[in-house]
Amino acid sequence: MTTTFGIVIIGDEILSGKRADKHLPKIIELLGARGLQLAFADYVGDDPDRITATLARAFAGAREWGDVVFSCGGIGATPDDHTRQCAAKALGVELALHPEAKALITERMKDTAKEQGVPFDADRHDNIHRLNMGVFPVGAQIIPNPYNKIPGFSCKAGEGAVHFMPGFPVMAWPMMEWVLDHQYAHLHQKSAYIEKSIIIFGSMEATLTPLMLDIEASYPGVKVFSLPSVDHPVYGRHIELGVKGVPDAVAVAYPALLAGIKQFDFKLGPELVR
């Protein structure tokens, strides 16, 4: 079973346009640096029912296919933060204060009190409330947060898992890296994933479809892709046709694709490598 990676991005501020999402391009970058790929992404606002349904799908994929899903946003302790509660509901488990999270949050509160020059009072109302950030679904494991020690958490489901972290990039991105490098290092690919393609002018996708199907059937391990454009600033109307996969597989399939293209009387543009 091939592990599939996905991301869930939570927050009204993303869907309203108040903030631009930066997590999607970052997770693509982090996975790509390790020879891995993102397979799917979900966006959902701060609606508990929709968050629960989205996370239930993520956990179902983790159980059935071994999906690894990153969830960004909504794990704080303000009224519009619902992710921790929704994760527990989606899993059908209770919430509980994680002892290691409690210790880390308390350590952070002590650090803050020291920085402010005031004594630390564990029984102060706001400090008690801050411990809610360590209330996770029962059975969760923590994800360390190098920025301010307030941890995220991971929930296993079958062979897969969903990993929860804050919406703040300065916290979420190093936490993503920690998860990838500490829990999935065995999946990192020694051979980087690459794409090779060529620009084709004057063709329709339907004309190229039989060739695409033949290449995929003849060369397991690669995917053939077709990206049409009608108003590209450099090439204008064209189709980018190519193959993607590990270098050894692409090195064999791409020449076969070029040979198939040359059977047609197309005007060809540059070849591209990514």
236/152 same-domain check: no
44/124 same-domain check: yes
216/181 same-domain check: no
Out of 131, 164, 187, pick the residue that ends a domain.
187
pLDDT exceeds 80 at position 2: no
Condensed to tens digits (0 to 9), the pLDDT of residues 184-211 reads: 999 988 666 789 999 999 888 999 999 9
96/203 same-domain check: no
CA distance 35 to 31: 6
206/175 same-domain check: no
CA distances from 89 to 24, 54, 60, 241 (A): 25, 11, 13, 44
181/253 same-domain check: no
Q: What is the mean pLDDT of residues 47-75?
A: 97
Which residues constitute the domain of residue 243? Answer: 194-273
Q: What is the phi/psi pair of residue 266, to 5°?
A: -100, 150
Tally of structural domains, the chain: 2
User: pTM higher than 0.85, yes or no?
Assistant: no
Out of 187, 203, 233, pick the residue that ends a domain.
187
